[in-house]
Amino acid sequence: MDTFQKAKDHFLAGIQKLESGALEEAEREFLASLDLAPGRPSTLTNLGATQIKLKKFSAAKSTCKEALASDKNNSEALLNLGLAYKETGDLITALDSFKQALMLDPKSSKAWSNKGSALRDLHRYEEALISFDRALDLDEKYYEAWTNRGLTLNDLGRHNESIQSYAEAISINRNYVDAWFNKGSIYLALKEFSQALACFETAFEINPDYEYLLGDLVHSKLLIGDWKDLDEKLLRLVKQIEYQEPVSTPFPMLSAVDKPELHLATAKLWANKQYPRNTSLPVIPKKNHSKIRIGYFSPDFKDHPVSFLMAELFELHHRDEFEIFAFSLKADNAGGVVRKRLIAGFDQFLDVENKSDQEVTQLSRDNEIDIAIDLSGYTQFSRTGIFAHRAAPIQVNYLGYPGTLGTGYFDYIIADPTLIPPTHQCFYAEKVAYLPYSYMVDDSKRIASEKILEKKDFGLPDNTFVFCCFNNSYKFNAELITSWAKIMLKVPNSVLWLSENNKDFKSNLLIAFSSRGVDPTRLIFAPRVELMEDHLARYRMADLFLDTLPFNAHTTALDALKAGVPILALTGEAFAGRVTTSLLKAINLPDLITNSREEYESLAVELVKTPNKLDEIKKRLQINLVESPLFNTQIFVKNIETLYKKMYEQYQEGLAPEHLTI
């Protein structure tokens, strides 16, 4: 057999392996073919495509460039080169490659679609939409383009059109999991949780190992209080995370399991795959500023719990020592009062929603930000990619996300000794910067209204003990409901006051309590209250807040205490399950902290049956609201600024980040 034929045989074997998904074998076959017949453009092009699928992006770039050196009109090689650049975060170069491919082949629907994807990642959504529409004009059956179009429409807030695009993709290929998953994600964002769950369950039937699907499926079930078959799903979720399989984004894990080691593993898997460290920008040169420049990054500079808590902190920062910048990752289309206050409270307020991650990073560097603080973590509309590019010499994870981000480029997480005891530091990728008392700040201007309220205004019966919990529905679970049912059965003259959350949750919860022997009429559901001062005022109708685990009340717990309502805590292992315990220690009410379900249930009943004890706790709470440091914003500002100075000194001295205390 001559050399040419051997090369051809290896090439054809490579094509066969590539089509069957045996990628490593395909790569070997293409390399063997090139050893015998170097420089063949078709072999190099297919090798580049294989290396992209194998995520060997550096090798793929070299291969594609070699293919183009042999044939400068190789549009397929240009497409592959663009994909390799896109996957490594160099979106401008990727876009240029796709444009060159289109110059060679303007009727390539694939090139138009890839161009649209690059434009979308650059936050140039309207241009991206034009590209996807062009791809679909050329091939109306191109279901991947329909799905990418759906993603872009969602970015533009055109949710119904987005859902329709996914429906088009599904009508062409019912087994296209991406479309089912993305359709479910939109329903999730729209708070149409049952429809989201239906999409995720269909996707799970098609491919139960689809990346990040199982976590969202579990989260959707928790959101509507559908706990049937949940134990089986949770067991699978835990095992797959333990086997290093990317089956959940980080946030759903916080309410799924109380295991900080699994939260770390999930965050690492997510960060390494979605937001790896990006070194395309140069190392930041060291500067020594007379005032430390603090950049707060958030999509929640609006009517949102993060801003409700932090508004006064931004205002009280000492301007003789600090310059304070806001990087707003999302506009406030509602034009709320909080946004206006925040804009006034920063030295500079930068709206960066329509900038790419790299552009935001460069803007931060241009402003010579010393400490970049991410206030969103892995919550909705977060932009971790900004920090992957290194927005500042010091990068900090604080407040918005109760756990580690699992990266190698966040230097610190701000916490307190209760949230992350020294023995738990190993579960955090960041070094821990410890605040005394509690990590949570509050705005002292956030006060309850003076309206005269009565229980009947909220459908609550008089002369009845009112347990309450205004937590989000995903924080509830079957084990918790069993504990609450036991408590209520032992305290017959009581009701449970809950946030309405959503209609499916309400319906499922009524069934759950009824099946445990509790009359469902004893559950009173509270609709959303628009004004914060009215929300705080209505807490006065409650006698005792019952907390959740593995995901505690956070802002909700602070609200309850601020309104004078004691909160019964059950301490967990992970950050999300230790927040209420932290708050109770900070306000000097340790007698409300429990460490087992049995202790939790027993203390709840005891507090009802010994009203003098509960009255004494309420009196102490009222005194401690004034005397303890928890609600003293001035003390908090001083403490967090001391931490910032320590971080800055550590950096200026050329030392690596280390655990900090003050």
- Pair 597, 487 in one domain: yes
Q: What is the pLDDT of residue 336?
A: 82
- Pair 462, 544 in one domain: yes
CATH of the domain at 206: 1.25.40.10
Query: pLDDT band at 609, cuts 50/70/90?
Result: very high
- Pair 214, 299 in one domain: no
CA 279, CA 290: separation in Å to the nearest integer?
Answer: 28
pLDDT of 3 over the 90 cut: no
When pLDDT is averaged across residues 370-382 and rounded to a whole number, the result is 97
- Pair 540, 485 in one domain: yes
Among 396, 399, 401, 426, CA closest to 412: 396
Q: Of the ranges 103-112, 160-169, 332-341, which one carries the lowest mean pLDDT score?
A: 332-341
> Is 523 part of a structural domain of the chain?
yes
Q: What are phi and psi of 381, to 5 degrees?
A: 70, 15
CA 520, CA 129: separation in Å to the nearest integer?
Answer: 49
> Is 529 part of a structural domain of the chain?
yes
CA 114, CA 116: separation in Å to the nearest integer?
Answer: 5
When pLDDT is averaged across residues 124-145 and rounded to a whole number, the result is 97
Q: Which residue has the tokens 């694939």?
A: 110
When pLDDT is averaged across residues 126-133 and rounded to a whole number, the result is 98
Q: Is 346 exposed, middle or buried (0-12, 13-18, 19+ CB in 10 A)?
A: buried
Q: Which two tokens stand for residue 206?
A: 């098609």
Residue type, 87: E
Q: What is the pLDDT of residue 96?
A: 97
Rounded alpha-carbon distances, angstroms, from residue 119 to 155, 345, 553: 12, 34, 39
> Is 594 part of a structural domain of the chain?
yes
> What's the CA angle centered on 508, arms 502 and 510, to 5 degrees?
100
Each residue's pLDDT tens digit, 561-586: 999 999 999 999 999 999 999 999 99
Q: What are phi and psi of 294, to 5 degrees?
A: -105, 125
Residues in CB range of 636: below 8 A, 6 or more apart: 313, 435, 441, 442, 629
Domain boundary among 256, 278, 300: 278
- Contact present, 247 and 215 (Cβ < 8 Å): yes
- Pair 215, 66 in one domain: no
- Percentage of the chain modeled with pLDDT above 70: 100
When pLDDT is averaged across residues 168-193 and rounded to a whole number, the result is 97
What sign results for the dihedral spanned by CA atoms 279, 281, 285, 287? negative
pLDDT of 596 over the 80 cut: yes
pLDDT of 22 over the 90 cut: yes
Q: Which residue has the tokens 């209250």?
A: 529
Q: Is 315 exposed, middle or buried (0-12, 13-18, 19+ CB in 10 A)?
A: middle
- Pair 351, 470 in one domain: no
> Is 162 part of a structural domain of the chain?
no
Domain boundary among 65, 88, 106: 106
Q: What is the pLDDT of residue 197?
A: 98
Question: What is the domain extent for residue 87?
Answer: 1-106
Q: What is the pLDDT of residue 4?
A: 83
- Pair 359, 470 in one domain: no
Cis status, amide bond into 282, omega within 30 of 0: no
pLDDT of 477 over the 80 cut: yes
When pLDDT is averaged across residues 221-225 and rounded to a whole number, the result is 98
- Give the pTM: 0.93
When pLDDT is averaged across residues 98-121 and rounded to a whole number, the result is 96
pLDDT of 432 over the 90 cut: yes
> Is 24 part of a structural domain of the chain?
yes
Q: Which residues pair with 374 in a beta bridge?
A: 297, 397
pLDDT of 526 over the 70 cut: yes
Q: What is the pLDDT of residue 334?
A: 77
- Contact present, 91 and 115 (Cβ < 8 Å): no
Q: What is the pLDDT of residue 2?
A: 78
Q: Which two tokens stand for residue 557?
A: 């717990």
- Pair 503, 623 in one domain: yes
Whole-angstrom Cα Rg for the chain? 27
Among 151, 147, 109, CA closest to 131: 109
> Is 165 part of a structural domain of the chain?
no
- Pair 245, 299 in one domain: no
Q: What are phi and psi of 199, to 5 degrees?
A: -65, -45
Total structural domains within the chain: 4
Please tell me whether residue 544 adopts helix, strand or coil conformation: strand
Q: What are phi and psi of 101, to 5 degrees?
A: -60, -40
Domain boundary among 84, 106, 128: 106
pLDDT of 322 over the 70 cut: yes
- Pair 523, 602 in one domain: yes
Q: Which helix (H) or strand (E) holds 433?
A: strand 431-434
Each residue's pLDDT tens digit, 243-300: 999 999 999 999 999 999 999 999 999 999 999 999 989 999 999 999 999 999 999 9
Q: What is the pLDDT of residue 540?
A: 94
SS percent in the chain: helix, strand, coil, step 5: 55, 10, 35
Each residue's pLDDT tens digit, 51-101: 999 989 999 999 999 999 989 999 999 999 999 999 888 899 999 999 999
- Pair 614, 509 in one domain: yes
Query: pLDDT band at 1, cuts 50/70/90?
Result: low
368: left (phi over 0), alpha (psi -120 to 50) or beta: left
> Is 614 part of a structural domain of the chain?
yes
Mean pLDDT for the chain?
A: 96
When pLDDT is averaged across residues 356-366 and rounded to a whole number, the result is 96
- Give the up-direction half-sphere exposure of residue 534: CA atoms within 13 A in the CB hemisphere: 8
- Pair 251, 297 in one domain: no
pLDDT of 398 over the 60 cut: yes
CATH of the domain at 422: 3.40.50.11380
- Contact present, 551 and 254 (Cβ < 8 Å): yes
> Is 183 part of a structural domain of the chain?
yes
CATH of the domain at 558: 3.40.50.2000
CA 467, CA 487: separation in Å to the nearest integer?
Answer: 10
Q: What is the pLDDT of residue 129?
A: 98
DSSP string, 16-70: HHHHHT-HHHHHHHHHHHHHHSTT-HHHHHHHHHHHHHTT-HHHHHHHHHHHHHH
